[in-house]
C-alpha cells in the first residue's frame, strides 16, 4: 500500500475489509480470517506477519532500533448471525463490519500507510475470542508485549474516542427439584427463578440509587432462560450478565446472590473489572488533533459493554483508548453495516496519529 495513490489505497482498503467480512470467524474459529489478514499485511509491506500461539494475526513494522512500541489491538471474531455481505449506497453490510472487522481493517491499512517515526516499533494484532468470555488472544498479547501506547479497535465513530468500558460478571443459575402437582403447595422451580431475578434487580436498584451516570451503575440482564421436566424432576436455568461499574466489589454481589437462593447451584465466571483511561494522555490528544484537522469535533465516550481494554489495560498501564469506525448501536444486530466513507476517514486519522504521536 505504501506509495500508492490516495484513490487506489482507499479501494485496496475497502476491498480488504469486504474480503475479511466475507470470511466467517466465530469465536474459536478465526484461523481462515487470520490467514487472510496476515497475507494482506505481507502484501502491504509489513516486516513480518504471523499467527501466534493464541491464533492471533500479528503484523510487525519497525523503523530502526525501537525505543518505543505502539500496539494496535483489534479482534477478528464475531458473534453468530449471517448477514448477506453487500454494498448498499455507501455502506458495507455484513456480520463484523462494525464489531469489529471495520476497526481492525482500518488498523491494518493505517499501519501499512504510516511513515513511522524513527525508533518506533508498530504491532498490529487481530485477536481471537474477544466475543467470548475467554479473551484468549488479548490474554496472550498482554503477556507477550509491553507497549508504550495502545489503541483498541472498537467502534467509536470516526470522531469518537472511547476512554473506558464497564466490567463484566456472568452467572449461571440452575435449580432442580422433584416434580410436584401444579395444584400443590410447593413453589414451582420456574417461579423460584423469577423470584431470584427480582431479588437481583432489587439489589441493583439499591446499589444504583443516587448514581445518575450509567457508567457508575450495576446493570443486570438475563442472557438465557430455560425450564423443563422429565416427568420426575423439574429444572430451570438462567444465565445472568452483570455490567460492573468502576471499583466494584464483586464478592459483595456474589454473597448477595447466594443469600437469596441457597437451594440453587450458582456458578460465577468471566469476571473483568471496569477500566477507565483519562483524557490527559498523548493518545487522546493525538486523536483529538487528527479529528479536528479533518473538521471533526472529538467526542469522548464511556461504554457500558466490555472490550479487550479490560484485559490488557490493567497489565500494560500505558496510555490506552479505543478507536474505530462504526456505530456501536449496530453491534450484534441484524442490521450491522459500516459507512465506507467513515472507514476511509478513520484510516486517515490513524495514519496521522501514528506519524505524529509524541510522548
Confidence class of residue 133 from pLDDT cuts 50, 70 and 90?
A: confident
- C-alpha–C-alpha distance, residues 234 and 1, integer Å: 61
pLDDT at position 127, please? 98
Among 262, 321, 328, 340, which residue's Cα sits nearest to residue 99? 328
77-124 pLDDT tens trace: 999 999 999 999 999 999 999 999 999 999 999 999 999 999 999 999
**Quick check: is 159 catalytic?**
no
Residue 223 main-chain phi, psi, to 5 deg: -90, -30
Confidence class of residue 215 from pLDDT cuts 50, 70 and 90?
A: very high
pLDDT at position 179, please? 76
**Mean pLDDT score of the chain:** 94
More confident residue, 214 or 279: 214
Q: For the whole model, what pTM was predicted?
A: 0.92
Say which range, 1-15, 140-154, 249-263, 312-326, has the weakest mean pLDDT: 1-15
Catalytic-role residue among 30, 99, 129, 130: 130
Catalytic-role residue among 12, 30, 69, 77: 77
Q: Flag whether pLDDT at 278 surpasses 90.
A: no
Residue 48 main-chain phi, psi, to 5 deg: -155, 145
pLDDT at position 4, please? 43
Confidence class of residue 5 from pLDDT cuts 50, 70 and 90?
A: very low
**Quick check: is 130 catalytic?**
yes
pLDDT at position 10, please? 67
Tell me the average pLDDT across 130-153: 96
Percent of the chain scored above 70 by pLDDT? Answer: 95
Tell me the average pLDDT across 270-298: 95
Exposure string for 4-35, b = 16+ CB within 10 A, e = fewer:
eeeeebbebbbebbbbbbebebebeebeebbe
Confidence class of residue 8 from pLDDT cuts 50, 70 and 90?
A: low
38-64 pLDDT tens trace: 999 999 999 999 999 999 999 999 999
pLDDT at position 183, please? 52
Tell me the average pLDDT across 339-357: 97
Confidence class of residue 333 from pLDDT cuts 50, 70 and 90?
A: very high
176-192 pLDDT tens trace: 998 765 555 578 899 99
Amino acid at each position: 500500500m505504501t506509495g500508492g495513490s490516495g484513490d487506489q489505497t482507499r479501494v485496496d482498503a475497502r476491498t480488504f475489509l469486504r474480503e475479511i467480512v466475507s470470511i466467517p470467524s466465530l469465536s474459536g474459529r478465526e484461523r481462515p480470517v487470520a490467514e487472510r489478514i496476515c497475507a494482506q499485511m505481507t502484501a502491504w509491506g509489513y516486516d513480518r506477519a504471523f499467527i501466534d500461539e493464541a491464533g492471533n494475526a500479528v503484523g510487525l513494522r519497525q523503523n530502526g532500533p525501537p525505543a518505543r512500541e505502539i500496539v494496535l489491538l483489534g479482534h477478528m471474531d464475531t458473534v453468530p448471525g449471517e448477514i448477506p455481505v453487500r454494498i448498499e449506497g455507501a455502506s458495507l453490510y455484513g456480520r463484523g463490519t462494525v464489531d469489529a472487522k471495520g476497526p481492525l481493517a482500518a488498523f491494518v491499512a493505517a499501519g501499512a500507510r504510516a511513515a513511522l517515526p524513527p525508533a518506533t516499533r508498530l504491532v498490529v494484532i487481530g485477536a481471537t475470542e474477544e466475543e467470548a468470555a475467554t479473551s484468549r488472544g488479548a490474554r496472550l498479547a498482554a503477556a507477550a508485549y509491553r507497549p508504550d501506547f495502545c489503541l483498541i479497535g472498537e467502534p467509536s465513530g470516526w470522531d469518537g474516542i472511547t476512554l473506558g468500558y464497564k466490567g463484566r460478571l456472568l452467572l449461571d443459575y440452575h435449580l432442580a427439584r422433584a416434580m410436584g402437582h401444579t395444584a400443590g403447595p410447593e413453589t414451582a422451580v420456574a417461579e423460584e427463578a423469577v423470584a431470584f431475578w427480582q431479588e437481583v434487580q432489587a439489589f441493583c436498584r439499591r446499589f444504583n440509587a443516587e448514581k445518575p451516570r450509567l457508567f457508575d451503575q450495576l446493570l443486570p440482564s438475563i442472557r438465557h432462560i430455560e425450564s423443563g421436566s422429565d416427568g420426575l424432576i423439574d429444572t430451570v436455568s438462567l444465565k445472568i450478565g452483570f455490567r460492573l461499574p468502576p471499583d466494584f466489589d464483586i464478592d459483595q454481589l456474589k454473597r448477595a446472590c447466594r443469600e437469596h437462593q441457597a437451594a440453587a447451584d450458582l456458578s460465577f465466571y468471566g469476571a473483568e473489572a471496569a477500566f477507565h483511561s483519562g483524557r490527559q494522555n498523548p493518545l487522546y490528544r493525538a486523536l483529538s488533533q487528527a479529528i479536528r484537522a479533518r473538521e471533526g469535533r472529538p467526542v469522548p465516550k464511556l461504554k457500558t459493554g466490555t472490550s479487550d481494554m479490560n484485559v490488557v489495560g490493567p497489565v500494560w498501564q500505558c496510555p490506552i483508548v479505543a478507536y474505530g469506525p462504526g456505530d456501536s448501536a449496530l453491534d450484534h444486530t441484524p442490521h450491522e453495516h459500516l459507512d465506507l466513507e467513515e472507514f476511509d476517514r478513520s484510516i486517515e486519522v490513524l495514519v496521522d496519529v501514528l506519524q505524529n504521536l509524541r510522548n
